[in-house]
Chain A
Amino acid sequence: MNGINDKINELKAISQNPGQSVAQAIKDTGKKAVGCFPIYTPDEVVYALGLLPVGMWGGPSKGNKSSKYLQTFCCSIMKANTEQALGGDYDMLSAVIVTSFCDTLKCIIEDWKIAVPHLNIVPIVYPQNRKSNSGKTYFKAELKRVADELAEITDTSYTDESLAAAVDLYDEYRRTLQDFVKSVAEKPGLITPLERHHVVKAGYFIDKKDYVPKVKALTEDIRAAEVPSDRQGLNPIVISGIIGEPDGLLEVFDECGFTVVGDDLAQESRQFRTIAPNVGDGFDRMVERIAMQDGCAFLYDEEKRRGRMIVDLAKETGAVGVIFNQLKFCDPEEFDWPLVKKEFNAAELPYLYIETEQQMDSLEQVRTSIQTFGELL
């Protein structure tokens, strides 16, 4: 157990101090860092250019600088990112890739071009018709445009080989995390929901090459360990939504006797549950991977598979219920909920819907909801 704790604490420290971790990674690798927005970014391209992709999923910032650009009903992750950009927290980045998966993000790109031009904003628009020929052709061209723009800004270059190697590394990273979350489900209660979250999140702030072996070692230790008797009998659940934050939220999970055995979070499993098929060059593999990535609120899915996928995940992992953590003001997720709920009802899968923001002064109402969910199970 000590080995596990050490490994977790190391990753947790990386995850909890993004600024420091990224500065250290820049120093260790000698690479320039490029910020990567939610929900999906072509990290493989960044990596192939010899740059360090860094995740930008909000943070604890709650100031009021962002209100120069955004009304109050803007999602808290985008407000926090804007706050941090205006506060200079991202000045260590050589460029920032901003996506346009929702209407809010489209505006964020435009606002940032004006508010923080020194961050070298590189917009990317993923196709919604991602399975059709026209969509795939477009996406490949868009990926190349982004690669060229980044290359020029950072004075770097890529080759077919460096891109193929980056896609390989990312697939390994994805397989590693798939295996990690599987091992957590095999030993429910062994590590806490918050620890699970930080292990996954740490991957956003260091070089994937250094991150992968750490997670592999931890996964091995988890498989070899026994769940202590005082950690047995917790309610295994699946969590869905954008993000498992603030930290206090997952602490409440633990305090109320829940353990996370699976997730459908945009920041976690949606990043790594789909592996690139082995067709064509590096760009083709990235294009095909997104074409296969279903059940995500941000990618048009004519079959609306999400609800069914969560139900299946719950069955596979032995979860007794689902907690749907709705990030307030996130339209795409809000649109999915009524249909996802129908699937839960049809499958008689117990669920709890909570609405949170990334920064919350009080978690008391949420705690009451989660505790009650435990009481009714």
Chain B
Amino acid sequence: MSEQKTSKELLNELLETHYDNAMKVQSEGKLLAWCTSISPQELLETMDIYAVYPENHAAAIGARKQAPDFINYSESNGYSSDLCSYARVNLAYMDILQSEAGNIPRPDLIFCCSNICNTVLKWYENISKELNIPLIVFDTPFNHQYEVNDQCTQYIKGQLLEAIGKLEQITGRKFDHDRFREVMKISSETSKWWKKASLEAAAKPSPLNGFELFNYMAAIVCARGTVAGRDLYKLWYEELRDKAAKGLGPWKDEDEKYRVMWDGIACWPYLGLTYKTLKKYGINMVTSTYPDSWYIVYDVDDLDGMARCYSSNYVNRNLSFGADNIVDIVNKFSLDGIVFHSNRSCKLMDFRQFEIQRQVEARTGVPSIIFDGDQTDPRAFNPSQFENRIQALVEMMESRR
């Protein structure tokens, strides 16, 4: 019976269906797009174009510890080992098309939004050229001012409208504005439930172990515009709310001693190891910078609002916002410490991290550590360094009590 299912079961089902359908839709005459993780999927959903997310897929390959096969292939083709490992995995997958983490077919078009980095522009520019398929770029200028300014909003809105024209051309179908309104509504609702669920972790102890957040993230990326996605996050919220009401913590066999946030992307190949290392010291990672990244909420029919939202995720905002954001998280979630992932793949996050760490420490007094790692390339992470730094964090957190 479907109403008895847990959100975990729904999540797994949803992801399984997502990948199964991906392999089927093209033979049914549907187009399939590869998309960056925070792109205006509303347009694709409206046009009935199937969206898959190479970042999700690369993360899954990383979690299966299969990334080196793909990375070596890309590097043999001339891609530098200093480039983003998601890109190195995906640029190889484009040729190999076979992984233990499930498969996605080659795309008919690409949806690329630069709000997560400029790296995706280069990555997909290459794929578009190699596969000779259309690439639709949503360029969201980095916000050096605190808020998204008017000219940026108008530019992004203009690109949304231009994209609609291109999609009409590619599919030969008219854009259905009624359907668009519906999708906009669902997408915003899904985002709200996602955020509400993650906020339950503010309870002490937190009902949520934040590594679950990493798992649940897969669906906010790929099912934000769907009813199934919305219902999943609503259910997840209810489960966490009930758990919090009962005063239940993240683990059955261990008490939550310290509460930290994780800054940056997970180390997928070492997800288990990083989780266990933290747990060993009673550290619960209650939140990260993920929940807000997919909080894309705007009024139906408000294209200006939609444009601003897609440029407002924290990696596309200035350092003052980044620091304010983390200070806010520290307070909201009653954090004892912060774990910063200096992610070899993500220069956009890394090269602000030292200053953000200083500012957050100065403003909150909460201790933090930075460790070296990578989102998918296992060669850039060192378990003993990680544990060493976590121990140091525990000592600092302890001395503040």
Q: Say if the two chains contact directly (CB < 8 Å).
A: yes
Spell out A's residues near B (CB within 8 Å).
68-71, 73-74, 100-104, 106-111, 113-115, 123, 125, 127-129, 132-135, 137-138, 141-142, 145, 297, 300-304, 326, 328-329, 331-332, 334-339, 341, 353
Q: A334-B82, A337-B79 are in contact. List 18 more A-B contacts (CB 8 A).
A: A69-B354, A73-B344, A100-B144, A108-B351, A110-B144, A110-B355, A111-B319, A125-B144, A127-B155, A132-B162, A142-B151, A300-B121, A304-B126, A304-B129, A331-B118, A332-B118, A335-B122, A338-B126
Are B126 and A111 touching (Cβ within 8 A)? no
A331 to B82, CA, bound (A): 8
B residues 127-181 near A (Cβ < 8 Å) are: 128-130, 135, 137, 139, 141-142, 144, 151-152, 154-155, 157-159, 161-162
For chain B, the count of residues having a C-beta within 8 Å of the partner chain is 47
A110 to B87, CA, bound (A): 25
12 contacts between A and B (CB under 8 A): A71-B354, A74-B351, A106-B142, A108-B351, A111-B319, A128-B121, A133-B162, A137-B151, A137-B154, A138-B154, A326-B80, A334-B79
Spell out B's residues near A (CB within 8 Å).
77-80, 82-84, 87, 114, 117-119, 121-123, 125-126, 128-130, 135, 137, 139, 141-142, 144, 151-152, 154-155, 157-159, 161-162, 318-319, 342, 344, 346-348, 350-352, 354-355
A73 to B342, CA, bound (A): 11
Are A128 and B351 touching (Cβ within 8 A)? no
Are B351 and A69 touching (Cβ within 8 A)? yes
Given contacts A69-B354, A129-B139, A142-B151, contact A106 B125 (CB under 8 A): no
A324 to B318, CA, bound (A): 34
Given contacts A107-B347, A334-B79, contact A70 B129 (CB under 8 A): no
Q: Give the residues in chain A near B137, CB-CB below 8 Å.
A: 128-129, 300, 302
Given contacts A74-B347, A302-B128, contact A127 B141 (CB under 8 A): yes
Are A137 and B155 touching (Cβ within 8 A)? yes
A-B contact count (CB 8 A): 153
Are A302 and B80 touching (Cβ within 8 A)? no
A114 to B151, CA, bound (A): 25
Q: Give the residues in chain A near B135, CB-CB below 8 Å.
A: 302
Q: Give the residues in chain A near B155, CB-CB below 8 Å.
A: 127, 134-135, 137-138
> B-side binding surface: helix, strand, loop or mixed?
helix
A129 nearest in chain B by CB position: B139
A101 to B142, CA, bound (A): 10
Are B126 and A339 touching (Cβ within 8 A)? yes
B152 nearest in chain A by CB position: A138
Are A110 and B80 touching (Cβ within 8 A)? no
Among B157, B344, B355, the one with the most A-chain Cβ atoms within 10 Å of its Cβ is B355
B347 touches which of A103, A133, A138, A300 (Cβ 8 Å): A103
Are B142 and A125 touching (Cβ within 8 A)? yes
A339 to B78, CA, bound (A): 9
Top 7 closest pairs, chain A to chain B, by CB: A134-B158, A107-B351, A138-B155, A335-B122, A338-B78, A103-B348, A110-B319
A298 nearest in chain B by CB position: B118
Are A123 and B152 touching (Cβ within 8 A)? no
Q: Give the residues in chain A near B114, CB-CB below 8 Å.
A: 128
Are A100 and B126 touching (Cβ within 8 A)? no
A142 to B153, CA, bound (A): 12
Q: Give the residues in chain A near B151, CB-CB below 8 Å.
A: 137-138, 141-142, 145
Among A134, A328, A336, the one with the most B-chain Cβ atoms within 10 Å of its Cβ is A134
Are B355 and A69 touching (Cβ within 8 A)? yes
A130 nearest in chain B by CB position: B139
Are A128 and B139 touching (Cβ within 8 A)? yes
Give, as a whole number of angstroms, the nearest-CB distance from B400 to chain A.
Answer: 24
A101 to B141, CA, bound (A): 10
Give, as a whole number of angstroms, the nearest-CB distance from A343 to chain B.
Answer: 11
A77 to B183, CA, bound (A): 45
B135 nearest in chain A by CB position: A302
A68 to B318, CA, bound (A): 18
Are A133 and B158 touching (Cβ within 8 A)? yes
Are B159 and A103 touching (Cβ within 8 A)? no
A82 nearest in chain B by CB position: B351
A132 touches which of B129, B159, B346, B350 (Cβ 8 Å): B159
Give, as a whole number of angstroms, the nearest-CB distance from B223 to chain A.
Answer: 28
A283 to B151, CA, bound (A): 16
Q: Give the residues in chain A near B123, CB-CB below 8 Å.
A: 335
Q: Give the residues in chain A near B355, CB-CB below 8 Å.
A: 69, 110-111, 114-115
Given contacts A104-B347, A135-B155, contact A334 B83 (CB under 8 A): yes
A338 to B84, CA, bound (A): 15
